[in-house]
């Protein structure tokens, strides 16, 4: 969280490789799942841990490629610079800030990133590892009490982090949707928190709306749809950045 900018000057560690740092740290969560399944000394828990780990690795790659597209557009690994880059361009000069955010030129990547974030946090409809019809509670089948609660605290913290990164990368971070004096008077962190709340609400809506996928469907979506799609869009963005139509 130290590299996440909550405002133009509100960041603890404004490092140049902020995006790389976040991607590296978040990828370490899979080790905790594997160790948790192994340490419970249960075949069911270990099998659930392996399935969760395979799912996270598959969608981590798609998320990484989606963020590389953001890097190409922003020309920077610094998260503050990525937000600042979304305040420039044709639409920003017209006062339509929300059209200059990365969600518009990178709409397919925004969709891939968000769905991959749902899968990586093991939330419904991708929570097959802990589904009632599968291996009862996944890698935490043997845990109870406070250890069980800590797993869910970590899951919800991961949801908030994924929503925060989506806000910073694609939704303009702390910037207001329109360049109006009344909207600009609202503190930057309030806009950031409002967008994060919206993204977390989408995750909760997904849980209440969509049925659970089968495990083979989840893996097929990650490896055969998302990763090839992100690779193709990576080439499209790289070519588009060199053309006169790049108004962002």
- On whether the pTM is more than 0.85, the answer is yes
How confident is the model over 50-57, as a mean pLDDT?
87
User: Which tens digits make up the pLDDT trace of 135-172?
Assistant: 566 777 788 889 888 888 988 898 999 999 999 999 98
- The answer for residues whose C-beta is within 8 angstroms of residue 70's C-beta and 6 or more apart is 19, 82, 102, 106, 109, 169, 170
Reply yes or no on whether the pLDDT at 248 is more than 70: no
- The answer for residues whose C-beta is within 8 angstroms of residue 56's C-beta and 6 or more apart is 29, 30, 33, 119, 120, 122
Reply yes or no on whether the pLDDT at 195 is more than 90: yes
How confident is the model over 86-114, as a mean pLDDT?
85
User: Which tens digits make up the pLDDT trace of 69-85?
Assistant: 998 888 888 888 898 88
Domain boundary assignment for the chain: 18-238
Please report the DSSP string for 152-191 in residue order: HHHHHHHHHHHHHHHHHHHS-TT--SS--HHHHTS-HHHH
The pLDDT of residue 134: 60
What three-state secondary structure class fits 192?
helix
What three-state secondary structure class fits 121?
coil
The CA-to-CA distance between both ends of the chain, in Å, stands at: 28
How confident is the model over 108-124, as a mean pLDDT?
88
The pLDDT of residue 135: 58
């Amino acid at each position: 969280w130290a590299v996440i900018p909550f405002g133009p000057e509100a960041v603890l560690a404004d490092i140049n490789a902020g995006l790389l740092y976040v991607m590296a740290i978040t990828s370490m969560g899979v080790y905790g799942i594997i160790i948790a399944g192994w340490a419970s000394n249960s075949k069911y828990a270990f099998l659930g841990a392996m399935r969760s780990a395979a799912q996270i690795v598959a969608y981590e790659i798609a998320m990484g490629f989606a963020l590389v597209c953001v890097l190409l557009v922003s020309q920077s690994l610094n998260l503050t610079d990525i937000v600042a880059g979304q305040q420039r361009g044709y639409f920003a000069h017209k006062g339509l800030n929300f059209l200059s955010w990365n969600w518009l030129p990178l709409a397919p990547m925004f969709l891939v990133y968000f769905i991959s974030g749902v899968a990586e946090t093991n939330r419904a409809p991708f929570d097959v590892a802990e589904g009632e019809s599968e291996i009862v509670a996944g890698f935490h089948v043997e845990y109870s009490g406070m250890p069980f609660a800590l797993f869910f605290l970590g899951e919800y913290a991961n949801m908030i982090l994924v929503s925060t990164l989506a806000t910073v990368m694609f939704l303009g971070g702390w910037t207001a949707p329109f360049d109006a004096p009344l909207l600009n008077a609202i503190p930057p962190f309030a806009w950031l928190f409002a967008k994060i709340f919206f993204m977390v609400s989408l995750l909760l809506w997904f849980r209440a709306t969509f049925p659970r996928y089968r495990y083979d469907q989840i893996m097929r979506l990650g490896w055969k749809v998302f990763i090839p799609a992100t690779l193709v869009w990576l080439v499209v963005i790289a070519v588009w950045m060199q053309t006169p139509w790049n108004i962002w």
